[in-house]
């Protein structure tokens, strides 16, 4: 037969199988898998486009050159030579005060002073309002502050008890407050940026007298232009920045680390739900293909008797399934596109406004995933169709086929499965963990199911066949039937177990994951930081906070130090080539001491020092990796002209999302308590408790209270809305799980009908047959549910720890819930098949044997 004849016959087979309902289950499985993957794909594609668009506004430029000292004029000259617009920004902490009478200074607060040049911002706009009232409308600012004026935020107005139109003193200058800043896209969330903002003109900065030798000022050169111009300048500036001290190109990655971490977790969560839906649908495809193969063996054997070659038969089946894959892919992509609008609605204000249209990539990849899934998971069960022996028409026990090709097909299926999950996850660790977890679960489930069925059968035989109730006899016949269909029964348990595992992972473990995620940044997380608490003020400050109804507040000592040597060798910024390592080596460290491991810290290497009397260091693992440090390395810090040497005895992992006070380096109290220090603390204030912070500042004017409530509220909003999106996407997984349950129980329906017909011919009543099949369903469901619960618990713990990075505790009720869910699903899913079995006559069955 030529290709045209094969294609024509494949089309006829497709129409016949479609009318007979043989392809419906496969198509629904493809729709769910491609729909789930495509919905997340469309969402991620549009969000990525929106983030790339808005990234420039978050930087106020297309690219930023940042330095700890005035930047070389060569950067600005090169930018202008490349046709780029430029602006200059200087940012540093400074005291802002209210001018008092007779030249005296009134109330003062530490502020984050930002001096900007003409043209700022190059991308986006600063929004300002003439007053601080909630009802006062704001508008985009067309220029920078006028000469002799500043813009401030409401936090500074509240702290200094001053109003717009009043004056504040910054260094040697007294400047009038001309506007209130309501939105500043490039502010970032560094610790210094959380202080109240004062924005002034860059050309007036020298007159303040604040720029002195040793001043810790961050300078930024903003550039903007076409993509080609920016790329050309970046190619020149990157090596120039690497050669300069304390200079680097700034990206959005450093702007909002806490928000970025939460959004990354959200993307992983959505990807996880889509992956599980794809896994379930793939399992359903494999089961449905196996049943399709078994039901078409006779027809294929007849065609082989009529002279059809193996090659032509293989081509017909392959073309039929390619057509089904294209059909399922197109409809699945359309379903995914519609579903991504639901996800957008659930995410609400978390996503950027006015997202760009999606690209063609999610649609093409959705079609590709449909074909990969269908051919990858349908190939092993379909191989017997092309290899069936013509003798199968006369003898059903003769099938034919090559065992080696079968194993190769299963290997190809496993590779397709892994590639699909890795692609869909867009995260190597998440994809590998889900793929590895389900592959391992399939192997373990299969082995344990086969072993459990044999053990149950042996135990039933030892109890003896004589005596016992009808229910006991039914159970023994059920176990014997499961053992007789050993491989098929094990596959049934595996399929049902994988489906239940995915559903339990989301329906039950999901709640624990969400609770753990919320706990990593709970609503009562600290939203106030108090810094600059001087020695002697620690006890009064703590007493005042406790009296104000904050009994759990604790103070942490903070000692400023500079790293000067590692293992006896002097260390400077030039000791490193990586930009972040150079910055860390050049900056001051904030050391602290404690004998107790701080809350939210976990020792990942070495031993916690406890009440050690000798100097020892526990270091955050990330900074240790950046600086190339390991356990046993000895560091030298300079503190107020004195040196202290200490070995690294442990590494810690910190929970930065907790908003608590964290330190890169901590030591035992005996090592640091004699050095100059200040104190720092953090706590949570409800809106009605704002007076607590005001009273603290009035009592201790030198301390600074920093409000992080806006950042915390943003993270909490993201959490809530992403969880709503996960709930919506969960419907795909739920539908795919139901599909797997149906396919798993329908896969052995024909064989159970034949067995029931034979038992009926031997005198079994309908009640006895019902007891046998109910016992079989209960056994399979209980076994699959138990395995699924254990697998979901293990995979959920691994995902929480290694992907989402928060603690998850095993739910002791999960195994019991899994067994109950397995039995219930097996009974519900098997009821329609059970009725068909009970209606099957013995004569009809014997004619087919």
The answer on pLDDT for 566 being more than 90 is yes
The dihedral sign for the CA sequence 603, 607, 613, 618: negative
pLDDT in the model for residue 28: 80
Q: For CA atoms 267, 269, 275, 280, give the dihedral sign.
A: negative
Q: Is the dihedral of CA 285, 33, 784, 431 positive or negative?
A: positive
Euclidean distance between CA atoms 109 and 267, whole angstroms: 39
**pLDDT of residue 120 exceeding 90:** yes
Q: Which DSSP category does 400 fall into?
A: B
Task: Tell whether the model's pLDDT for residue 569 goes beyond 60.
Answer: yes
Backbone φ, ψ for residue 737 (5° rounding): -65, -45
Which candidate, 129, 185, 187, places its Cα nearest to that of 157? Answer: 129
Determine how β-strand 665-667 pairs with β-strand 589-593: parallel
Is the confidence at residue 744, as pLDDT, over 80?
no
Can you say how many angstroms the Cα of residue 130 is from the centroid of all Cα atoms in its chain? 41
Average pLDDT in the 4-29 region? 81
pLDDT at 703: 77
809 band by pLDDT with thresholds 50, 70 and 90: low
Q: Is 659 left (phi over 0), alpha (psi -120 to 50) or beta?
A: left
Measured between alpha carbons, how far is residue 690 from residues 131, 133, 437, 845 in Å? 21, 17, 49, 80
Q: Is the pLDDT of residue 135 over 80?
A: no
Does residue 414 surpass a pLDDT of 70? no
pLDDT band at residue 467 under the 50/70/90 scheme: very low
To 10 degrees, the CA torsion angle through 588, 589, 590, 593?
Answer: -140
Nearby residues of 505 by Cβ (< 8 Å), 6 or more positions away = 276, 792, 795, 796
Q: What is the gyration radius of the CA atoms in the chain, in angstroms? A: 34
pLDDT at residue 210, as a whole number: 86
The residue-averaged pLDDT of 567-589 equals 80
Q: Is the pLDDT of residue 489 over 80?
A: no
Q: Rounded to an integer, what distance in angstroms lies between the CA atom of residue 382 and that of residue 291?
A: 10
A 10 A CB-CB count for 845 gives: 18
Q: Average pLDDT of 557-577? A: 88
What's the CA gap between 39 and 45, in Å, rounded?
A: 10
Count how many residues are written for the chain: 849
pLDDT mean over 322-329:
86
On the 0-12 / 13-18 / 19+ scale of CB atoms within 10 A, 99 is: middle
What are the C-alpha distances in Å from 654 to residues 297, 531, 600?
60, 20, 6
| pLDDT value at 739 more than 50 | yes
Does residue 767 or residue 265 have the better pLDDT? 767
- List, for residues 450-459, the tens digit of each pLDDT value: 888 888 777 7
Distance between CA atoms of residues 584 and 619, nearest Å? 14
Q: Which residue has the tokens 């590639």?
A: 419
For residue 203, pLDDT beyond 90: yes
What are the pLDDT digits (tens) for 602-618? 899 999 999 898 999 99
Looking at residue 417, its pLDDT comes to 64
User: What gap in Å lies between CA 547 and CA 531, rounded to an integer?
Assistant: 19
Q: Tally the C-alpha atoms within 13 A of residue 777's C-alpha that lie toward its C-beta.
A: 27
**Which carries the bigger pLDDT value, residue 733 or residue 470?**
733
Determine the straight-line distance between the first and last CA of the chain, rounded to whole angstroms: 33
Mean pLDDT within 450-476 = 65
Q: How far is CA 439 from CA 279, 415, 444, 473, in A?
A: 10, 11, 9, 36
Handedness of CA 397, 400, 404, 408 (dihedral sign): negative
Flag whether pLDDT at 85 surpasses 70.
Answer: yes
What digits encode the pLDDT tens for the residues 219-255?
999 999 888 898 899 999 988 987 877 788 875 544 4
CA-to-CA dists, residue 758 to 114, 753, 846, angstroms: 88, 9, 7
Instruction: Cis check for the bond before 492: say yes or no (omega within 30 of 0).
Output: no
Q: How far is the C-alpha of 155 from the C-alpha of 164, rounded, in Å?
A: 13
169 sits in which H/E element: strand 167-170
Q: What percent of the chain has pLDDT over 90?
A: 20
Q: Evaluate if residue 493 carries a pLDDT over 50.
A: yes
Please give the average per-residue pLDDT across 58-77, as a whole number.
88
Q: Decide the pairing of beta strands 149-152 and 197-201.
A: antiparallel
24: number of Cβ within 10 Å = 12
Helix (H) or strand (E) holding 161: none
pLDDT at 545 over 80: yes
| Strand intervals (E) in 425-536 | 528-533
Distance, CA of 741 to CA of 823 (rounded, Å): 11
Range 354-372 average pLDDT: 79
Q: Hey, is 146 helix, strand or coil?
A: coil
| Measured torsion, CA atoms of residues 729, 734, 735, 741, in degrees rounded to the nearest 10 | 160
Inter-CA distances, 226 with 123, 231, 250, 501, 687, Å: 12, 9, 18, 51, 45
Q: How confident is the model at residue 14 (pLDDT cuts 50, 70, 90)?
A: confident
- DSSP assignment of 371-391: HHHHHHHHHHHHHHHHHB-GG
Question: Would the pLDDT of 134 be above 70?
Answer: no
- Rounded to 10 degrees, the C-alpha dihedral 574/578/584/587 comes to 50
Give the tens place of pLDDT for each residue, 624-680.
998 999 999 999 999 888 999 999 999 998 876 666 788 999 999 999 988 989 999
Q: What is the pLDDT of residues 283-308, one digit of tens each?
A: 777 777 777 777 777 777 777 787 77
Average pLDDT of the chain to the nearest whole number = 78
CA–CA separation, 378 vs 282, rounded Å? 9
Contact 409, 379 (CB under 8 A): yes
- The pLDDT assigned to 479 comes to 74
Give the burial class of 798: count Cβ atoms within 10 A of its Cβ; 0-12 exposed, 13-18 middle, 19 or more buried: middle
Q: Where are the domains of the chain?
A: 1-57+258-426, 85-224, 446-521+708-849, 528-705
CB atoms within 10 A of CB 70: 11
pTM: 0.58
372 versus 510: the higher-pLDDT residue is 372
**Which tokens go with 761?**
């011919």
Residue for token pair 């395995």: 787
Question: Does 466 score more than 50 pLDDT?
Answer: no
**Kind of pairing, strands 173-183 and 149-152?**
parallel
The pLDDT, as a whole number, for residue 693 is 80
Dihedral of the CA atoms 776, 777, 778, 782 (nearest 10)? 110
**Phi and psi (nearest 5°) for 135?**
-90, 0
Kindly state the average pLDDT of the residues 711-730.
Answer: 62
The pLDDT assigned to 71 comes to 92
98, pLDDT greater than 70: yes
Per-residue pLDDT, averaged over 565-569, amounts to 93
Structure tokens at 110: 């530490």
pLDDT for position 255: 46
**133 and 139 in contact (C-beta within 8 Å)?**
no
Look at residue 470 in the predicted model and tell me its pLDDT. Answer: 41
**pLDDT of res. 508:** 61
Query: What does the alpha-carbon distance between residue 209 and residue 810 come to, in Å, rounded to a whole number?
Result: 60
Q: What pLDDT shows up at residue 115?
A: 96
**Residue 489 and residue 454 in contact, taking contact as beta carbons nearer than 8 Å:** no
In the prediction, which pLDDT does 463 show?
64
Q: In the structure encoding, which two tokens stand for residue 319, read together?
A: 């073309």
Q: C-alpha distances in angstroms, 653 versus 265, 394, 517, 617?
A: 17, 68, 17, 14
Residue 818: what pLDDT?
87
């Amino acid at each position: 037969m030529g290709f045209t004849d094969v294609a024509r016959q494949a089309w006829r087979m497709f129409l016949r199988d479609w009318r007979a309902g043989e392809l419906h289950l496969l198509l629904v499985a493809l729709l769910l898998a491609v729909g789930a993957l495509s919905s997340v794909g469309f969402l991620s594609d549009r969000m990525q486009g929106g983030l790339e668009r808005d990234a420039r506004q978050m930087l106020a430029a297309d690219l930023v050159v940042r330095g700890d000292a005035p930047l070389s004029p060569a950067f600005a000259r090169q930018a202008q030579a490349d046709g780029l617009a430029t602006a200059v920004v200087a940012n540093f902490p400074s005291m802002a005060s209210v001018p008092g009478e007779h030249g005296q200074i009134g109330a003062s607060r530490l502020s984050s002073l930002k001096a900007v040049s003409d043209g700022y911002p190059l991308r986006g706009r600063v929004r300002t309002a003439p007053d601080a009232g909630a009802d006062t409308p704001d508008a985009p600012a067309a220029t920078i502050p006028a000469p002799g004026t500043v813009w401030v935020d409401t936090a500074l107005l509240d702290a200094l008890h001053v109003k717009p139109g009043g004056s504040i003193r910054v260094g040697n200058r007294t400047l009038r407050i001309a506007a209130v800043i309501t939105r500043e896209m490039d502010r970032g969330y560094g610790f210094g940026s959380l202080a109240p903002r004062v924005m002034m003109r860059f050309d007036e900065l020298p007159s303040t007298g604040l720029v002195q030798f040793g001043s810790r000022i961050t300078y930024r050169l903003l550039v903007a232009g076409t993509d080609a111009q920016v790329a050309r300048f970046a190619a020149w500036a990157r090596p120039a920045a690497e050669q300069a001290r304390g200079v680097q190109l700034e990206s959005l990655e450093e702007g909002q680390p806490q928000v970025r971490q939460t959004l990354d977790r959200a993307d992983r969560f959505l990807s996880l739900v889509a992956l599980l839906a794809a896994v379930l649908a793939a399992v359903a495809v494999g089961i449905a293909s196996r049943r399709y193969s078994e039901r078409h063996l006779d027809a294929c054997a007849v065609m082989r008797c009529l002279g059809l070659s193996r090659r032509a038969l293989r081509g017909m089946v392959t073309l039929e399934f390619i057509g089904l894959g294209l059909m399922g892919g197109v409809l699945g992509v359309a379903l995914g596109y519609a579903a991504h609008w639901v996800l957008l609605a659930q995410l609400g204000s978390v996503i950027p406004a006015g997202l760009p249209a999606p690209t063609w990539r999610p649609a093409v990849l959705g079609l590709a995933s449909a074909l990969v899934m269908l051919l990858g998971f349908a190939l092993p069960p379909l191989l017997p169709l092309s290899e069936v022996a013509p003798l199968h028409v006369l003898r059903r026990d003769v099938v034919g086929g090559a065992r080696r090709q079968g194993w190769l097909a299963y290997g190809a299926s496993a590779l397709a499965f892994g590639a699909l999950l890795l692609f869909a996850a867009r995260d190597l660790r998440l994809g590998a963990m889900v793929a590895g977890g389900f592959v391992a679960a399939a192997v373990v489930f299969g082995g344990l199911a086969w072993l459990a069925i044999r053990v149950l059968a042996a135990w039933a035989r030892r109890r003896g066949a004589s005596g016992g109730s009808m229910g006991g006899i039914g159970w023994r016949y059920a176990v014997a039937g499961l053992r007789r269909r050993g491989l098929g029964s094990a596959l049934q348990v595996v399929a049902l177990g994988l489906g239940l595992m995915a559903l339990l992972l989301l329906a039950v473990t999901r709640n624990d994951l969400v609770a753990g995620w919320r706990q990593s940044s709970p609503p009562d997380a600290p939203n106030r930081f108090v810094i600059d608490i001087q020695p002697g003020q620690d006890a009064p400050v703590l007493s005042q906070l406790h009296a104000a109804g904050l009994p759990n507040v604790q103070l942490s000592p903070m000692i400023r130090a500079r790293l000067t040597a590692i293992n006896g060798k002097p260390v400077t910024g030039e000791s490193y080539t990586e930009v972040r390592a150079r910055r860390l080596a050049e900056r001051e460290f904030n050391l602290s001491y404690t004998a107790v491991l701080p809350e939210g810290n976990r020792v990942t290497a070495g031993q916690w020092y406890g009440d050690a009397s000798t100097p020892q260091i526990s270091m955050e693992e990330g900074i240790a990796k950046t600086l190339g440090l390991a356990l046993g390395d000895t560091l030298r810090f300079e503190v107020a002209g004195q040196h202290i040497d200490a070995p690294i005895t442990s590494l810690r992992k910190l929970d930065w999302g907790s908003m608590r006070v964290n330190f890169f380096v901590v030591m035992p109290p005996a090592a640091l308590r004699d050095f100059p220090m200040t104190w720092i603390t953090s706590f949570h204030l409800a809106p009605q408790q704002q007076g607590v912070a005001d009273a603290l500042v009035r009592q201790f004017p030198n301390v600074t209270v920093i409000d992080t409530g806006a950042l915390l509220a943003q993270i909490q909003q993201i959490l809530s809305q992403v969880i709503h999106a996960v709930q919506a996407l969960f419907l795909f997984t739920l539908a795919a799980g139901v599909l797997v349950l149906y396919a798993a129980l329908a896969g052995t329906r024909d064989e159970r009908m034949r067995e029931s017909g034979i038992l009926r011919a031997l005198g079994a009543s309908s009640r006895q047959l019902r007891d046998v099949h109910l016992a079989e369903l209960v056994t399979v469901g209980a076994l699959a549910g138990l395995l699924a619960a254990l697998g979901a618990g293990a995979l959920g713990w691994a995902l929480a720890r290694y992907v989402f990075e928060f603690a998850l505790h095993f739910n002791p009720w999960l195994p019991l819930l899994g067994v109950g869910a397995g039995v219930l699903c097996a009974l519900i899913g098997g009821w329609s098949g059970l009725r068909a079995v009970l209606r099957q006559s013995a004569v009809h069955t014997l004619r087919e044997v």
